[in-house]
Amino acid sequence: MHDPRTRALPSLGGRGMHRHRSGVQGNARLTAITGTVLFVLLAAEGLTILRVRALLSPHVFIGMMLIPPVALKLGSTVYRFGRYYLRHPHYRRKGPPPLVLRLLGPVVAATTVAVLASGVALVYVPRSDRATVLFLHQASFVVWFAATAIHVLGHAGEAARLTAADLVGRTRRAVTGATFRWVALALSLLAGIGLGVVVVGRAAAYVVSVR
């Protein structure tokens, strides 16, 4: 006679496989929806650059707002990177991004951190150090913009598709963890708003000091 417990093993394995696949897809969706929101925020930030002196307060506020969602996206990307190179079978099966985007990934990540960190420093450093920090901010922005433009073009279609899928009921439910993904994104935005409120007051003092 067959032990009835042995017949349960395939279904348990199937559930485990589905869970791992959902984890891969959920990670991709979290990266996509966060990237989509970041694209909107970065577009707004870009508009403030056109008249940055007059719009310095919005520039600083949006810049602070970017930090937690950027951290969330970097976290989801690094997680996928780690799982892939640690040879997790489902992440290996999904495969890596195209070579150009893989090579650009560290550049985008490093320059994003540089732009944001130098932007924060620019508000707080003594006046005597601002010229140096401003140069670093502007130089890192130039490299960031070039690398990110290619990055966005390479991922825009997939990000739009996955974001739309995570908004619509049937396709949203097809991958577990949708509530977690959107709550994580919402919390990152709320944290960003809080940072903006705390730091934006310094922007007014900065404007006065450079006049």
Query: pLDDT, tens digit, for every residue of 191-203?
Result: 999 999 999 877 6
Give the pLDDT mean for 48-59.
90
Nearest to 202 by CA among 36, 56, 45, 52: 56
Cα–Cα distances in angstroms (integers) from residue 67 to residues 63, 148, 192, in the given order: 7, 16, 6
> Given pLDDT bands bounded at 50, 70 and 90, which one contains residue 207?
low
In a domain, 2, yes or no: no
Question: Quick check: 3 pLDDT over 50?
Answer: no
pTM of the predicted structure, to 2 decimals? 0.83
Question: Quick check: 208 pLDDT over 70?
Answer: no
Q: Please tell me what DSSP assigns to residue 105.
A: H
What is the rounded CA–CA span in Å between residue 111 and residue 134? 14
Lowest mean pLDDT across 71-75, 88-92, 179-183, 192-196: 88-92
- pLDDT on residue 211: 47
- When the pLDDT of each residue in the chain is averaged and rounded to a whole number, the result is 86
> Given pLDDT bands bounded at 50, 70 and 90, which one contains residue 20?
low
In a domain, 3, yes or no: no
Give the pLDDT mean for 14-22.
55
Using only C-alpha atoms, what is the Rg of the chain? 21
In a domain, 76, yes or no: yes
- pLDDT on residue 5: 40
In a domain, 4, yes or no: no
Q: Please tell me what DSSP assigns to residue 87.
A: T
Question: Quick check: 78 pLDDT over 60?
Answer: yes
Q: What is the pLDDT of residues 88-139, one digit of tens each?
A: 888 888 888 888 888 899 999 999 999 999 999 988 888 889 899 999 999 9
* Domain count across the chain: 1
Round to the nearest angstrom and report the end-to-end CA distance of the chain: 89
In a domain, 19, yes or no: yes
In a domain, 9, yes or no: no
- pLDDT on residue 38: 97
In a domain, 37, yes or no: yes
Question: Quick check: 33 pLDDT over 70?
Answer: yes
**Residue 45: domain span:** 14-210
What is the rounded CA–CA span in Å between residue 15 and residue 10? 9
In a domain, 6, yes or no: no
